């Protein structure tokens, strides 16, 4: 259930969280001041403020752990995309400076970038998986680089090894990106956060059993705050999945560095907004 909630679009995610905690707040208000339950609830009167403080400390620590994990994953995903883009750019620069026929390498880069931005990014957004077209294009790029070699000379051999190493860095960066794109969520941690948020609402109800207006004011403020925090963190759960996703712009811009081919279509538009 938590995984399904995390895959919702941003409006539906806000509606789900706000709807649930609004319903629980309304239920607690009715339980505290309803005619049928008022006398029973007053038997719990006398709770001290430290009850709420202790729960909020635990809630803050738990949501801090979840936020730290998510932001670290997003940071590493952004770094993987930038590394992949930089490796492709450097591979093109090395191919141009090698003195070898570089048209094959440039074409292989072009095919790979087109497959990544046009096919793989939508696939990662939909399922967190890579695209076969990008895998084939990467294989073609590696084969092309490996086949483009100088005939002789130690210096030429070192340059050839550098060229191949740069192509392998593209492969490594893509592998890191796909690992971070794979469907993954901290369901147990999120369950703890959601339960502790509900416990915080209960503690507020316990502290304001005497007067309805302070009860209502405290509950509205707390519920609004926790809905905002939970939604903002949950929206970043998947680095390459909606509602917020890392853009393919850095990789797409590699096409701008390649010589234009006759009849070449425009570069593919970015598939997502940068966070």
Domain residue ranges of the chain, discontinuous segments joined by + = 2-257
In whole angstroms, give the CA distance from residue 84 to residue 79.
9
Asked whether 235 and 66 are in contact (CB, 8 A), the reply is no
**The predicted structure's pLDDT at residue 272:** 46
pTM of the complete model: 0.79
Longest alpha-carbon distance in the chain: 94
* Mean confidence (pLDDT) of the chain: 86
Give which of 25, 2, 5 is closest to 15, Cα–Cα: 5
Give which of 40, 28, 47, 58 is closest to 197, Cα–Cα: 58
Looking up tokens 């806000």 gives: 14
For the purposes of burial, counting CB atoms within 10 Å of the CB of 125, is it exposed (0-12), middle (13-18) or buried (19 or more)?
A: middle
**The predicted structure's pLDDT at residue 184:** 72
**The predicted structure's pLDDT at residue 151:** 64
**The predicted structure's pLDDT at residue 275:** 40
Radius of gyration, CA atoms only, the chain: 27
Residues 34-67 have pLDDT tens digits of 888 888 888 877 777 777 888 889 999 999 999 9
40's CB contacts (< 8 A; 6+ apart) are: none
Q: Is residue 247 over pLDDT 60?
A: yes
Residues 174-228 have pLDDT tens digits of 999 999 988 776 788 899 999 999 999 998 888 888 888 999 999 999 999 999 9
Asked whether 214 and 208 are in contact (CB, 8 A), the reply is yes
In whole angstroms, give the CA distance from residue 242 to residue 26.
31
Q: Is residue 158 over pLDDT 50?
A: yes
Mean pLDDT, residues 109-134 taken together: 92
C-beta atoms surrounding 90 within 10 Å: 15
């Amino acid at each position: 259930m938590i995984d399904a909630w995390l895959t919702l679009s941003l409006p539906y995610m806000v509606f789900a969280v706000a709807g649930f905690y609004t319903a629980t707040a309304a239920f607690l208000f009715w339980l505290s001041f309803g005619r049928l339950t008022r006398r029973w609830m007053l038997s719990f009167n006398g709770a001290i403020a430290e009850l709420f403080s202790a729960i909020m400390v635990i809630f803050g620590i738990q949501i801090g752990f979840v936020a730290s994990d998510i932001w670290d994953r997003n940071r590493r995903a952004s770094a993987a995309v930038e590394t992949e883009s930089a490796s492709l750019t450097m591979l093109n620069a090395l191919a141009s400076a090698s003195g070898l026929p570089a048209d094959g390498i440039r074409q292989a880069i072009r095919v790979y970038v087109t497959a990544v931005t046009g096919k793989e990014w939508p696939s990662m957004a939909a399922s967190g998986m890579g695209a076969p077209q990008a895998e084939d294009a990467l294989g073609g790029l590696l084969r092309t680089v490996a086949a483009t070699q100088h005939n002789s000379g130690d210096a030429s051999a070192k340059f050839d090894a550098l060229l191949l190493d740069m192509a392998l860095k593209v492969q490594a960066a893509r592998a890191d990106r796909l690992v971070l794109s794979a469907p993954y969520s901290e369901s147990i941690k999120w369950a703890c956060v959601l339960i502790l948020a509900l416990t915080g609402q209960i503690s507020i109800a316990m502290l304001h059993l005497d007067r309805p207006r302070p009860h209502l004011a405290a509950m509205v403020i707390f519920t609004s705050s926790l809905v905002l925090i939970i939604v903002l963190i949950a929206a970043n759960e998947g680095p390459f999945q909606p509602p917020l996703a890392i853009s393919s712009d850095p990789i797409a811009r590699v096409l701008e560095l390649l010589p234009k081919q006759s009849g070449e279509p425009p570069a593919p538009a970015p598939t997502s907004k940068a966070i």
